[in-house]
Amino acid sequence: MARAQQGDAEAMNRLLARHYDRLYAVCRRVAGNDADAADGCQEALLAIVRGLPRFDGRSTFRTWSYRVATNACLDELRRRKRRPVAVEEIPEATSDEPGLEQRLTERMNLDGALGQLAEEFRVPIVLRDVAGLDYAEIAETLEIPPGTVRSRIARGRRHLAGILAGPNTDNPPDDGNQTALDQRPTE
């Protein structure tokens, strides 16, 4: 990384190649589709190249690069005034691999459900479950307190479970309150 910061192009290429798959995975889940993820990831890579000389090491490169990728992807979606969307059709299986079609269906269902989550819940879940960041790293990446990260992940997962369960279930997503307002004690 030090060589990349000093302008070594080969070191920069190796650094970006080493982190590309994870950065793209974050962008893919934040954006909800391949086209917007590719655009967001490209913008993230450019921002990393431009910003690396100023990277001061207060966080790990991984945490910093995820923050850059998340922001670049969200900026791309805002620029286009889009919300994440999932493709409705299941692509034709290109392999005789057992279970491939089911895994594709599950991935698309998850992408669709993630696309229905508000950004404040979707991004922490993606950083936790796709990027593998711990709560402190997510808090640093999003510049919010760790308790807020935990809360957003818990609420987001609850909403995600409700979405994935479908509309005809007795387990709709809730707003985090355990009892209805009119049933709460007043004293």
**Tens-place pLDDT, residues 144-184:** 999 999 999 999 999 988 888 876 555 544 555 455 555 55
- Please tell me the predicted confidence (pLDDT) of residue 90: 41
* 61 touches 55 (CB < 8 A): yes
Instruction: Quote the CA–CA distance of 142 and 175 in Å, as a whole number.
Output: 22
Which structural domains are found in the chain, ordered by start?
A: 2-87+99-173 (1.10.1740.10)
pLDDT at 153: 94
- What is residue 89's predicted lDDT score, i.e. its pLDDT? 42
Q: How many residues are present in the chain?
A: 187
Higher pLDDT, 167 or 34: 34
pTM of the full structure: 0.66
| 175 alpha-carbon distance from chain centroid | 21
Residue pair 30/123 in contact (Cβ under 8 Å)? The answer is yes
C-alpha 168/C-alpha 185 separation (Å) is 30
CA 101/CA 32 separation, integer angstroms: 19
Of 47, 4, 53, nearest to 27 by C-alpha is 47
| pLDDT tens-digit readout, 79-111 | 877 555 444 444 444 555 566 666 666 666 677
Q: How many CA atoms lie within 13 A of 113 on its CB side?
A: 21
Dist. CA 59–CA 74, nearest whole Å: 21
Q: For residue 54, what are the CA distances in angstroms to 49, 84, 182?
A: 10, 31, 54
**Residue pair 66/131 in contact by the 8 Å Cβ criterion:** yes
pLDDT of residue 121: 93
User: Looking at residue 64, what is its pLDDT?
Assistant: 92
* DSSP-assigned letter for residue 176: S
Q: Considering the chain, what percentage of its residues have pLDDT values greater than 90?
A: 40
Using the 8-state DSSP alphabet, how is residue 144 labeled? S
Q: CA-to-CA distance for 41 and 76, rounded, in angstroms?
A: 10
pLDDT confidence band for 112 (50 / 70 / 90): confident
Q: What is the mean pLDDT of residues 113-139?
A: 89
What is residue 47's predicted lDDT score, i.e. its pLDDT?
Answer: 95
The pLDDT value given to residue 87: 45
Q: How many CA atoms lie within 13 A of 27 on its CB side?
A: 27
Whole-angstrom distance, CA of residue 115 vs CA of residue 108? 10
Q: Is the sign of the CA dihedral 26, 20, 109, 99 positive or negative?
A: negative
